[in-house]
Amino acid sequence: MFVLRAKYLLTNPNTLINNGVVVVSNDKILFAGRFKDLNKQEACRIIDLGNSVITPGLINAHSHLELTNLNGRINYTGSFAGWISQILNAKKGWTEDDYTLSVRSGIKKSIEAGTTTIADITRDGFSLAELRKSKLRKTVFYELIDFNPSRAEETIRDFKARFNDTYGNNLLSIGIFPHAPYTVSKDLYNQCSTVSDQLKIPIATHLSETNEEIEFLTKGTGNLATLLRDLNTLGDWNHPGLRPIAYLNQMGILKNNLMIIHCNYVTIEEIMMLKSSKSSIVYCPKSHKYFQHMIHPFRKLIDQNINIALGTDSLASNDSLSILDEMKCIYDGNKDIKPQDIFFMGTIAGAVAVGLENKIGRLEPGFDADITAIQLPNEEKSNFYEGVFSKNSECIFSVVSGSVCYDKYRLSGLPQRIKTH
């Protein structure tokens, strides 16, 4: 048993406590509240985090750790299809060691950013192999890409074989990730949805990410169509004449365990479809900014009580794997958004998106002890959130399932080694 103490405690986005403590017993939270209410007769070690705020563990609901070492190597020139081409060319010749080193670097950066839970995408299992050994809580999604409907059953058989060979644990779960409607056939989407239901595993997909995607689906033209023809992946495919969300809705894929990545371009009609489906959306603010998209519709989605989590995407379209940085990005560009809503997106909404809302996302007795501590700047700020979201705040400490995961300043007194592999 140990106690974390700090100047502030945020047990959930709407409850801020001065001079707060969290008592951790085994892997659970035993108490979260004011220091003066702590039962001090119980002998336990107190870790004083000083001028910090203790928050629920930060949740990165979408990442591509296998692309970490592409940081700074991809130059977006205005075409999403062109960006994809650069990614494919940059990875040519990569070996298993290249992917492994990239993932290890991504895990280290994530831990140092105060992340406690990550939802990552893998093509060939490289990130799974490394994340399994890390202290992070993780959902690893196997990404499926195949536009040929005749291969859908074979692709699903391969996924099931991998799934059956994967042994999960308390900190690891497996999901299925049909990549996007411009790389996945209708047959494969339907098979993925069925398998998700059968195996009771999460399902996620990129959707409505770019105008190029919308043009491809509604008209069968544009840069994506050209790229896919050049890659000989289109075959005799005919465009559905529908926007992405309507296309998946027609298939019956929109449902309450679906995690939709990006959702950058939506109509009012599509928002109503999303609301009815009870799907979760993952917004990646800094990646969104990198691609110079129009203003994200997250306000409209929140107004309809649609769950909006946060992700970092990859370092091929971002310079950070920090959810705190993503929250700062929203705060800096949207002063009309309540900071409590931003914290909700980085914690509780992420827990809902990965199906763990009854275990993590709050600091309450009985919840798993997933905790992040953010050190506040020394200079005086006009309010608490100005300090949390200032450029000088940083994550300095984290706990995952009751075990110290990150301790930048050795405040716990324990030997510290960031376990990435």
In this structure, what CATH number is given to the domain that contains residue 33? 2.30.40.10
pLDDT, residue 221, reads 97
367 in a domain, yes or no? Answer: yes
Does residue 228 sit in the same domain as residue 338? yes
d(CA 118, CA 323): 10
Torsion of CA 99, 102, 106, 109, to 10 degrees: 160
Residues 249 and 392 in one domain: no
Token pair belonging to 168: 């999960």
On whether both 47 and 63 belong to a single domain, the answer is no
Phi, psi of 417 (to 5 degrees): -145, 125
Regarding whether 311 and 205 lie in a shared domain, the answer is: yes
Alpha-carbon dihedral of residues 358, 251, 298, 398, nearest 10 degrees? 30
In a domain? residue 416: no
Instruction: Please check whether residue 419 lies inside any domain of the structure.
Output: no
User: Do residue 52 and residue 70 come from a single domain?
Assistant: no
Do 34 and 122 lie in one domain? The reply is: no
Neighbouring CB atoms inside 10 A of 89's CB total 10
Q: Quick one: which of 129, 144, 136 has its CA closest to 107?
A: 136
Side-chain-side CA neighbours of residue 329 (13 Å)? 24
Q: Are 48 and 38 in contact (CB under 8 A)?
A: no
With b for 16 or more beta-carbon neighbours within 10 A and e for fewer, the 117-134 pattern comes to bbbbbbeebbbbbbbbeb
Task: Specify whether 265 is located in the same domain as 194.
Answer: yes
State how far the Cα of 61 lies from the Cα of 139, in Å rounded to an integer.
Answer: 9
Determine if residue 308 is left, alpha or beta; phi over 0 gives left, psi from -120 to 50 gives alpha, anything else beta: beta
Together in a domain, 38 and 80: no
* pLDDT class of 420 with cuts at 50, 70, 90: low
Same domain for 308 and 401, yes or no, is: no
Alpha carbons 143 and 150: distance in angstroms, whole number: 18
Quick one: what percent of the chain has pLDDT higher than 70?
97
What is the tens place of the pLDDT at every residue in 46-95?
A: 999 999 999 999 999 999 999 999 999 999 999 999 999 999 999 999 99
The answer on 123 and 252 residing in a single domain is yes
- Per-residue pLDDT reduced to its tens digit, 14-57: 999 999 999 999 999 999 999 999 887 565 889 999 999 999 99
114-142 confidence digits (pLDDT tens) = 999 999 999 999 999 999 999 999 999 99
User: Is residue 415 in some structural domain?
Assistant: no
Indicate if 189 and 239 belong to the same structural domain: yes
Q: What is the CATH number of the domain that holds 62?
A: 3.20.20.140
- Residue where a domain terminates, one of 333, 353, 373: 353
Residue 325, CA distances (Å) to 129, 328, 399 in order: 27, 5, 19
Q: Angle, nearest 10°, between helix axes 244-251 and 211-219? A: 60
> What is the spatial distance between Cα 193 and Cα 67, in angstroms, rounded to a whole number?
26
Per-residue pLDDT, 4:
97
Per the domain annotation, does 413 fall within a domain? no
Contact residues for 380 (Cβ-Cβ < 8 A; gap 6+): none
On whether residue 412 sits in a domain, the answer given is no
Question: Domain range spanning residue 228?
Answer: 58-353
Confirm whether 414 is domain-assigned: no
Looking at the structure, tell me whether residues 255 and 159 fall in a common domain.
yes
State the total domains in the chain.
2
Distance CA 281, CA 261 (A): 6
Q: Is residue 346 part of a domain?
A: yes
